[in-house]
Amino acid sequence: MKDGSDGVTDWPILDSMLLSASGADLVAVHSGGGGYSGWMQSAGVSVVADGSTEAEQRICQVLDLDTGLGVLRYATAGYEEARHSVAVGGETGNAPLKQINVEE
């Protein structure tokens, strides 16, 4: 990360809590993976797509929260493109990200 916070563990823990609260069927917090084995944590998520309206809503919530938190992670680390995305409310301009205040 631009600010040197690559190994910060609070983001994947926050992500896992948000994913659980938003209707994920399975959330896993795990350590390592790829070239960072044993050094970092991450969260994985599964949502069963059974064709129901409820599943559609949960999938949208889970994917929006997971992606949105990733954008916030990059914005707080100092990436201008992510900061801009937060300032305008996400890529579509309709995301609730615009309500979050990111320091300049």
Domain that holds residue 70: 10-90
Residue 60 lies in a domain: yes
Alpha helices in the chain (DSSP H): 10-21, 53-76, 80-87
Residue 2 lies in a domain: no
The predicted structure's pLDDT at residue 6: 74
In b/e form, how buried is each residue of 40-54, taking b as 16+ CB within 10 angstroms? bbbbbbebeeeeeee
CA gap 21, 90 in Å, rounded: 21
Structure confidence by residue, pLDDT tens digits, 23-72: 999 999 887 665 656 667 888 899 999 999 999 989 988 988 888 888 88
Residue 2: Cβ within 10 Å count? 11
Residue 96 lies in a domain: no
3-state secondary structure of 85: helix
- Count: domains in the chain: 1
The predicted structure's pLDDT at residue 79: 93
pTM of the entire predicted model: 0.73
Residue 101 lies in a domain: no
